[in-house]
Structure 1
Amino acid sequence: MNPRSVRAHNDVLAATIALLDEGGLPAATVDAISSRSGVSKATIYKHWPNRTAVAAEAFGRRMTDAIPLPDSGNARDDLSEQVRRVSAFYAGRHGLVFAQLLAATVADPEAAPFFREFFLDGRRQAVAVLWDRAVSRGEVKASVSVDTAIDLLFGPLIFRLLSGHAPLSPPDADALASAALTGLLA
């Protein structure tokens, strides 16, 4: 992309992040994104198929900026801390936006790849860094794939967020991380 295009892309994402923060996915219409960013709707549609795709990319950027990776030198501490950080992110106002995006992308085949690429893939790659560190130090079972570890550690947070059956509190995040890292069998 040329510098002007990069600037427009970044302006659109920044405007979308602000709109998501203010009113969730319903507030992030293409008209509102265009007005807030100063980028034409035609340019927005040149880069994204629809508002959900823009929102998915913007939300991925928001979460990456909000949740840095811990590096204590200990797998249990790092993975538990990451589960706590993600749980706190979802427990706050960002959880509603995540749920809105997830629901919207389930029904939107054009936006779903943006959600996977700019949100899920980025989050999974970040946690893979933690897992790879733990594998290289011999702290976790190398036979367990990073994808399985991520699903076990973070899937329960998403289920709780979407179902509302249990809280996303720090003690609950610790209990989930401990169960995932230790196992369920006596």
Structure 2
Amino acid sequence: MCGLMAGSQLDEPFEQSFRAWVGSRREVIARILTGGLDRSELRGDLDLDHAIDLFFGPFSYRLPVGHAPLDAHEAAHRIDPLLDGLRPCPRSRGTQDRMLP
């Protein structure tokens, strides 16, 4: 992945192909998140593009920097807290949702 990212900076035709591939991966996550929105499993005020960036951020950083492992266990460890943040906050009697602005 690091080589692909570097190559996309040096070769314009490859950059277009790489961006199209990344876009296709983003579309997959968008469909998953949209399904969660449709089922009210995620916050109604979710910024879809921002949430997708949050999904890819840890991987985009860990791969080129290489400061820590990135395996299936580590991926789940990064995604679970993200999903917790995207879920609606439970309502307590007499209080409003605790959503950040």
Q: TM-score with structure 2 length normalisation?
A: 0.74
**CA RMSD between the two structures:** 1.4
Paired letter, 1:152: L
Partner of 1:45: none
Using the TM superposition, give the Cα deviation of residue 107 of structure 1 relative to its aligned residue in structure 2, in angstroms. Answer: 2.4
SS at match of 2:13: coil
Between structures 1 and 2, the one with greater helix share? 1
SS at match of 1:111: helix
Structure 1, unmatched stretches of 5+, are 1-97
- Distance between the aligned counterparts of 1:161 and 1:108, measured in 2? 21
Closer, same or farther: CA 182–107 of 1 in aligned 2, 3 Å? same
Structure 2, unmatched stretches of 5+, are 86-101
| Identity over aligned pairs, percent | 33
SS at match of 1:174: helix
- Distance between the aligned counterparts of 2:27 and 2:36, measured in 1? 14
1:38-57 equivalences under 5 Å are none
Q: 1:146 aligns with which of 48, 55, 70?
A: 48
Partner of 1:80: none
Structure showing greater Rg: 1
Q: TM-score with structure 1 length normalisation?
A: 0.43
Structure 1 stretches of 4+ with a deviation exceeding 3 A read none
